[in-house]
């Protein structure tokens, strides 16, 4: 970090090109030529060659958003004087004629952007790739001293290094208002992150308002009216995300982390015992009752219908076996099944049945690494989410998961709820997801990773500044080429991008001393 202490702030000079975050795969910016952008004349438009056109809601709405982002701080007096020599439009051409669907794990996000003296053209195979190109274009535009916006002659050829670039939010330990989630989705799009992992329920509260089982939130949320996500809220999140090319993967973690499920579903959790007497407390989901699986079948049928993504996160981590061990009925079941005293086998028994239920709804699943570690029989398309760092080097787990032929997601070094004084983004940025011993075939099974923001000490008051721009360090690692490693260059671009976030209303914290032309103000 010493080499960065002398770098205070990166200022854009007249004629300079703006920085881009995350760094594109190929970027060539000329020092001369290009276009002046006038708020009075400029527009986004569909090229004649595009397979989609007006009426494509994904791009129609994106055009309006990015026009506002570009010219939100334009000086109208200068615009008038300069408008006659301004470039009038960015033409967008999309090859695949689809606009009304959802992005998926296999969705191409590649795009090309060309800015010359004669034309500005953005081409992409899908509308989702076009969204990434629009974000790059918006960052390449820079403001001159006279208040006008310019963009240099530029060639960009870009695509993500990994297809799964996610962010986890925990909305159980502290309820996050809908507005905060939508703002986070906006910031994710600015960083080209494409998966919102919604850890929606956990032990402390059950804020998901179920259609089929309303008592889950009525009795399990912090407050059944003010601290819940209604059916309308969930639809709003999914659609807001879709329009930004972001997938929504919900997590309903079982059999542990389920204390909030109990009040609304009597009999679901395991009664704990002291000797032969129940204590009145409850442990994980009771895995020996048919009623448990009948409930899960109905509940996950609803979840599968509400959330359109192919994947559901089933959790499966940190199961405390002490209550199961105390329960005489479970002890009897263990002996009957030949499990002995290996309660990991009982957990696997439950997880196996749950996965069979979810598979019946033409869905697949993501699971935390314990499910793999415990030897559960998994479908080939299962995603193993590696999160443990203290139990052993996460690199060893990545090697084991991929050696077994499963695809892996990495989160272990990217728990952004952990903070420290100073530039802790550096440690996040320097992680290399493929830095483990394994073959090229194994490393091809790493499909990306996620930054995680757990909610024990995070609510709406500190969510955004704790996330940004630190989560951007993860975003660049997952998008940009593996060779993008220069810390000083990254620092300068991230400082500049942090100023972009402030201008867009995102309360991103500073990396070090300095200032932005536009400082965030709450009023």
pLDDT digits (tens, 9 = 90+) for 124-170: 999 999 999 999 999 999 887 777 788 999 999 999 999 999 999 99
pLDDT digits (tens, 9 = 90+) for 100-130: 999 999 999 999 999 998 889 999 999 999 9
Stretch 295-313: mean pLDDT: 98
Among 3, 89, 183, 318, the active-site one is 318
Alpha helices in 47-126 (DSSP H): 57-71, 76-82
Q: What is the pLDDT of residues 335-353, one digit of tens each?
A: 999 999 999 999 999 999 9
Residue 73: predicted pLDDT? 59
Whether 142 contacts 496, CB under 8 Å: no
Chain centroid offset of residue 520 CA: 24
| Through-space distance between the first and last CA atoms of the chain, rounded to whole angstroms | 35
Look at residue 1 and tell me whether its pLDDT is greater than 60. Answer: no
* Alpha-carbon span 293 to 255, nearest angstrom: 12
Per-residue pLDDT at 481:
97
Determine the Cα–Cα distance for residues 99 and 102; give it in Å rounded to an integer.
Answer: 8
The token pair at 30 is: 């000329």
Question: What are 464-480's pLDDT values in tens digits?
Answer: 999 999 999 999 999 99
Residue 276 has pLDDT above 60, yes or no: yes
Q: Is residue 183 annotated as a catalytic residue, yes or no? A: no
Q: Cα–Cα distances in Å, from 248 out to 169, 242, 421?
A: 11, 8, 32
Contact (Cβ atoms closer than 8 angstroms) between residue 119 and residue 45: no
Q: What is the mean pLDDT of the chain?
A: 92
Please count the helices (runs of H) and the strands (runs of E) in the chain. 17, 17
- Model confidence at 383: pLDDT above 50: yes
Q: How far apart are CA 523 and CA 521, in angstroms?
A: 6
User: How far apart, in whole angstroms, are the C-alpha atoms of residue 450 and residue 413?
Assistant: 10
346-364 average pLDDT score:
94
Q: CB count, 10 Å around CB of 212?
A: 12
Q: If you average pLDDT over residues 482-505, what whole number do you get?
A: 96
- Count other Cβ atoms within 10 Å, centred on residue 40: 14
Ordered alpha helix ranges (H), 114-209? 127-140, 178-190
Nearest to 503 by CA among 492, 519, 522: 519
Q: List C-alpha distances in Å: 17 to 85, 236, 276.
A: 19, 36, 74
Give 49's Cβ-side CA count (13 Å radius): 10
Looking at per-residue pLDDT, the higher value among 46 and 3 belongs to: 46
* Closest alpha carbon to 201 in 119, 313, 100: 313
366 and 315 Cβ atoms separated by less than 8 Å: no
pLDDT of residue 17: 53
Residue with tokens 């800015």: 115
Do residues 236 and 182 touch, judged by C-beta distance below 8 A? yes
Residue 291 tokens, joined: 């009623």
Tokens (6 digits) for 159: 């695509």
CB 468 within 8 A of CB 451: no
Is it the case that residue 308 has pLDDT exceeding 90?
A: yes
pLDDT number for residue 142: 87
pLDDT at 23 over 50: yes
């Amino acid at each position: 970090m010493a080499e960065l202490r002398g770098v205070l702030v990166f200022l854009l000079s007249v004629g300079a090109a703006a920085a881009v975050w995350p760094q594109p795969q190929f970027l060539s910016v000329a020092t001369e030529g290009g276009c002046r952008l006038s708020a009075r004349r400029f527009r986004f438009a569909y090229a004649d060659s595009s397979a989609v056109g007006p009426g494509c809601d994904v791009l129609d709405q994106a055009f309006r958003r990015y026009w506002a982002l570009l010219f939100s701080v334009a000086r109208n007096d200068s615009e008038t004087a300069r408008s006659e020599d301004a470039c009038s439009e960015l033409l967008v051409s999309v090859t695949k004629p689809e606009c009304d669907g959802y992005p998926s794990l296999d969705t191409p996000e590649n795009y090309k952007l060309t800015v010359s003296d004669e034309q500005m053209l953005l081409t992409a195979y899908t509308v989702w790739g076009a969204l990434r190109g629009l974000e790059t274009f918006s960052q390449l535009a820079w403001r001159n001293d006279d208040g006008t916006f310019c963009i240099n002659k530029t060639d960009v050829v870009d695509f993500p290094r990994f297809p799964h670039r996610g962010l986890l939010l925990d909305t159980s330990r502290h309820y996050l208002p809908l507005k905060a989630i939508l703002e986070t989705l906006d910031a994710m799009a600015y960083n080209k992150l494409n998966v919102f992992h919604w850890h929606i329920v956990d032990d402390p509260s059950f804020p998901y308002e179920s259609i089929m089982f309303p008592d889950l939130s009525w009795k399990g949320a912090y407050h059944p009216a003010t601290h819940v996500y209604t059916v309308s809220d969930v639809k709003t999140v999914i659609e807001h995300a879709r329009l930004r090319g972001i997938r929504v993967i919900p997590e309903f973690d079982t059999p542990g982390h389920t204390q909030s499920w109990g009040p609304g579903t009597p009999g679901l959790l395991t009664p704990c015992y002291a000797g032969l007497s129940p204590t009145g407390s409850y442990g994980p989901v009771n895995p020996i009752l048919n009623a448990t699986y009948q409930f899960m079948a109905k509940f996950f049928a609803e979840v599968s219908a509400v959330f359109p993504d192919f994947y559901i996160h089933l959790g499966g981590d940190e199961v405390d076996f002490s209550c199961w061990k105390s329960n005489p009925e479970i002890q009897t079941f263990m002996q009957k099944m030949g499990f002995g005293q290996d309660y990991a086998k009982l957990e696997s028994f439950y997880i196996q049945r749950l996965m069979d239920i979810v598979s019946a709804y033409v869905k697949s699943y993501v699971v935390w690494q314990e499910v793999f570690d415990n030897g559960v029989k998994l479908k080939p398309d299962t995603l193993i989410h590696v999160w443990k760092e203290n139990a052993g080097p996460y690199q060893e787990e990545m090697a084991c998961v991929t050696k077994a032929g499963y695809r892996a997601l990495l989160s272990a070094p990217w728990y952004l709820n952990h903070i420290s004084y100073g530039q802790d983004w550096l440690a996040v940025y320097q992680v290399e997801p493929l830095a483990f011993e394994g073959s090229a075939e194994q490393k091809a099974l790493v499909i990306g990773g996620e930054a995680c923001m757990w909610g024990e000490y995070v609510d709406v008051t500190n969510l955004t500044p704790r996330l940004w721009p630190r989560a951007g360090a993860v975003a660049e690692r997952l998008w940009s080429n593996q060779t993008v490693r220069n810390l000083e260059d990254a620092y300068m671009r991230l400082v500049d991008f942090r100023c972009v976030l402030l201008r867009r209303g995102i309360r991103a914290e500073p990396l070090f001393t300095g200032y932005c032309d536009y400082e965030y103000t709450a009023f």
